[in-house]
Amino acid sequence: MLEIIYQDDWLVAVNKPSGWLVHRSWLDRDEKVVVMQTVRDQIGQHVFTAHRLDRPTSGVLLMGLSSEAGRLLAQQFEQHQIRKRYHAIVRGWLMEEALLDYPLVRSWIESPISSPAKIKGRSQR
């Protein structure tokens, strides 16, 4: 069971624990512990993701209670009207506060786990 932090007629916010997938993909289709399915079973209705958190990341996850609400929430993330803020737990001592504001991967080429799609096929014309 997941902790529901907030719920109204349009959205639900849950506390996603570390180690949980937000949704299944073809890479992990046999995964048993998935946030979307658990929330759906808890509240008795489908939910629609507006954003994701990586499997090792815990935090607040917002989901729409309709496809339209999910789409509008996702749009707000894309337009930076809603922002994600990450806090790190570190070992040792920090001499001062720091703000890291740069992408973890600068381009598709640098990413070790993804690559641009290779499109094969022909035009329907």
Tens digit of each residue's pLDDT (9 = 90 or more) over 9-60:
999 999 999 999 998 877 777 777 899 999 999 999 999 999 999 888 999 9
On the CB side of 86, CA atoms within 13 Å amount to 13
Tens digit of each residue's pLDDT (9 = 90 or more) over 55-111:
889 999 999 999 999 999 999 999 999 988 888 777 888 788 877 777 665 555 544
Residue 118 lies in a domain: no
Domain hosting residue 42, numbered range: 3-78
User: Could you list the active site residues?
Assistant: 54
Ramachandran sector of residue 80 (left: φ over 0; alpha: ψ -120 to 50; beta: rest): left
Count CB-CB contacts under 10 A for residue 11: 19
Structural domain count of the chain: 1
CATH (domain of 21)? 3.30.2350.10
Nearest-angstrom CA–CA distance, 88 and 39: 26
Q: Read off the tokens for 49.
A: 């993701």
Q: Read off the tokens for 67.
A: 């496809």
